[in-house]
Structure 1
Amino acid sequence: MQFSRLGSSELEVSRVCLGSMTWGLQNNQHDADEQINYALSQGINFIDTAELYAVPPSAQTYGKTEAIIGNWLARHREKREQLVLATKISGRGVSWIRDGAPICGQSIIQAVDDSLSRLNTDYIDLYQLHWPNRTSPHFAKHWPGMVTFSDVDKAEEVESMLDILQALQTCIVQGKIRHWGLSDDTTWGINTYLRLSTEHNLAKPVAIQNEFNLLHTKDWPYLVENCVHEDIAYLPWSPLAAGSLTGKYVDGARPEGSRWTYMQRNGLFRDTPQANQAVKEYTSLAKHYGVTPAQLALAWVNQVDGVTSTIIGATTMCQLKENIHAFDLHLTEAQLNDIGAVLQRFPSPY
C-alpha cells in the first residue's frame, strides 16, 4: 500500500480510503467488521464516514454508520492510533438533522460531540463540512444556469464561514478534532477559507472531497490545480460513479440489492444515454486489458496528478478485494491514451 501526506497536515494516509456509507442499510455490523479488518490487513489506514450515513439517507438510518464504526472501535481500542478517521457534519436541507438548519459554529460544537459519542473515540482526525451552506455546483448542478452565483450574499456567506472556522478552531484546541476539511465545495470556497484562516490565525483546511471519476471530471484542471498549489489533499468520492463504471447498470440493468434499486435523494441523475454509452466503451477497454471495469476506473483516478487518496466503497467482500487490487495496477501510456480517447468523446456525460 502506498501513502500520501494529507495536505498540509502531518498525517500520512493510504492511497485507498475505505468509504462506509452502505453500513447501516445495505451492510450490517458483521459486514462492516469484515470490511474494516480486511482493509487494515491490506495496509489501509484511512476510513471516511459522516453523521448523515447510511445512504440513501433517512431519519431511521441517521448516525447508524458512525455507530457501527464506534462499535468496532470499542472492541479494537488498540487499533485506534493506527487509523486516520474522517467524518462530516451535514449541511442545510436535511429536515431530520437539526431541522435542516445551515452549518454554524454552534451546530459544529454539538455535532462534533455527537459524532465522538457515536464513534466511541476521543478525537476525530479529519472533520469535514459535508456541503457548503450556499448552493454549490455539485450533484448534477454543474451545468450553466443551474446555480445563480450572483444571488449569494457574499458578506453574509463570508461571515458564516468565519463563524464555522472559529468553532472548528475551538474543537481543535480542545483536542476533539485534529484537522478539518471541505466536501462538495469549489475553488472560491477553498480560497475564502484559506484567506480567512490566515487573516484570523485559524486552522486551515487540509483536504477536500468531491465527486471525481471517468464520467465526471469537472474538477480537472482548475480545482485540482488549486489543491496542489495550496497544499490541500484532493479526495475523490464516487470514483465508480455510484457503481455505474462497474458496468452493472448498463442498458437499464438493476441487480437485486444494488444501490440504484434504492430510492435516491437526488434521483438517478448519473443514468443518461451518454453515460451508458461511455460505460460500454470503458467496459470494452477493460476486457481488452484483462482487468475489470471497476479496476480500470479506479486505476485511472489513482494516477491523476493531485489525487491524494481515493474513497472506495463496497457492499460485498468480493467487491472490496477487487477494488483494492486496482491500486496495484499501473496503466501504460498506451492504455491511458485509449482511455483518454473515450473521455474526449464523452467528457461530461452526466
Structure 2
Amino acid sequence: MQYSPLGSSQEQVSRVCLGSMTWGIQNNQQDANQQIEYALAQGINFIDTAEMYPVPPSGKTYGGTETIIGNWIAANPTRRKEFVLATKIAGSGLSYIREASLISGESIIQAVDASLKRLQTDYIDLFQLHWPNRVSPHFAKHWPGRISFSQTETATEKQQMLEILQALELCIQAGKIRFCGLSDDTPWGINTYLQLSEKHSLPKMVSIQNEFSLLHAKDWPYLIENCVREDIAYLPWSPLAGGALSGKYLNNQVPAGSRWSFEQRQGIFRNTPLSQQAISRYVDVAQSHNITPSQLALIWCNQIEGVTSTIIGATSMEQLKENIAAFAMTLSPKAKSDINLVLREFPVPF
C-alpha cells in the first residue's frame, strides 16, 4: 500500500480510503466488521463516514453508519490508533437533522459531540463539511444555468464561514477533532476558507472530497491545481460513478440489491444515454487490457496528479478485494491512450 500526506496536516493516509455509506442498509454490522478488518490488513489506514449515512438517507437510519463503526471501535479499542477516521456534518436540507438548518458554529459543536458519541471515540481525525451552505455545482448541478451564484450575498457567506472556522477551532482546542476539511465545494470555497484562516489565525482546511470519475472529471484541471498549489488533499468520491463504471447497469439493468435498486435522494442522475455509451466503451477498453471495468476506473483515478486518496465502497467482500487490488496496478501507455479516446468523446456524459 502506498501513502500520501493529507494536505498540510502531513498525516500520512493510504491511497485507498474505505468508504462506509452502505453500512446500515446494504451491509450489516458483520459485513462492516469484515470490511474494516480486511482493509486494515491490506494497509488501508483511512476510513470515511458521515452523520447522514447510510445512503439513501432517512430519519430512520440517520447516524446508523457511525454507530456501526463505533461498535467496531468499542470492540477493538486498542486499534483506534491504526487509522485516520473522517466524518462529515450534514448541511441544510434534511428535516430530521437539526431541522434542515444551515451549518453554523452551534451546529458544528452539536454535530461533533453527536458523532463522537456514535463513533465511541474520544477524537475525530478529520471533520468535514458535507456540503456548503450555498448551493454548489454538485450532484448533477454542474451544467451552466442550473444554479445562480448571485442568489446569496458574498458577505453573508463569508460571515457564516468565519463562524464555522471559529467553532472548528474550539473543537480542535478541546481535542475533539484534529483536522478539518471540505466536501462538494468549489475553488471559491477553498480559497475563501484559506483567506479567512490566515486572516483570523484559524485552522486551515486540509482536504476536499468531491465526485470525480471517468464520467465526471470536471475538477480537472482547475480545482485540482488549486489543491496542489495550496496543499489541499484531493479525495475523490464515487470513482465508479455510483457503481455504473463496473458495467453492471448497462442496458438499463438494475441488479437486485444494488445501489440503483434503492430510491435515490437526487434520482439516478448518472443514467443517461451518453453515460451508457461511455460505460460500454470503457468496459471494452478494460477487457482488451485484461482488467475489470471497476479496476480500470480506479487505476485511472489513482494515477491523476493531485489525487491524494480515492474513496471506495463495496457491498461484498469480492467487490472490496477487486477494488483494493486495483491500487497495486498501473495502466500501460496503450491503456491510457484508449481511455483518453473515450474521455474525449464523452467528457461530460451526465
Matches within 5 A, 1:27-38: 27-38=27-38
The 2-side partners of 1:117 and 1:315 are apart by 26
1:235: how far off? 0.1
* 1:72 match: 72
CA RMSD, 1 decimal: 0.4
Amino acid at match of 2:335: Q
* 1:102 match: 102
Matches within 5 A, 1:295-334: 295-334=295-334
Q: Write the deviation string for residues 94-114 of structure 1: whole angstroms up to 9, x where unpaired.
A: 111000000000000010000
Amino acid at match of 1:82: E
* 1:154 match: 154
1:325: how far off? 0.3
* 1:234 match: 234
The 2-side partners of 1:203 and 1:86 are apart by 16
Ranges of 4+ aligned residues in structure 1 off by more than 3 Å: none
1:150: how far off? 1.6
1:332: how far off? 1.4
* 2:267 match: 267
* 1:206 match: 206
Matches within 5 A, 1:10-29: 10-29=10-29
The 1-side partners of 2:78 and 2:151 are apart by 50
SS of corresponding position for 2:227:
helix
Amino acid at match of 2:74: A
Q: Unaligned stretches of 5+ in structure 2?
A: none
Query: Identity over the aligned pairs, expressed in percent?
Result: 65
SS of corresponding position for 1:296:
helix
SS of corresponding position for 2:8:
coil
Q: Unaligned stretches of 5+ in structure 1?
A: none
SS of corresponding position for 1:8:
helix
The 1-side partners of 2:249 and 2:339 are apart by 20
Amino acid at match of 1:149: F
SS of corresponding position for 1:314:
coil
The 1-side partners of 2:150 and 2:20 are apart by 36
The 2-side partners of 1:134 and 1:335 are apart by 40
1:10: how far off? 2.6
The 2-side partners of 1:25 and 1:66 are apart by 13
1:82: how far off? 1.0
Q: TM-score, normalised by structure 2?
A: 1.00
Matches within 5 A, 1:149-188: 149-188=149-188
Question: Are residues 1:254 and 2:220 paired?
Answer: no
Q: Write the deviation string for residues 208-257 of structure 1: whole angstroms up to 9, x where unpaired.
A: 00000000001010000000000000000000000000000001001010
Q: TM-score, normalised by structure 1?
A: 1.00
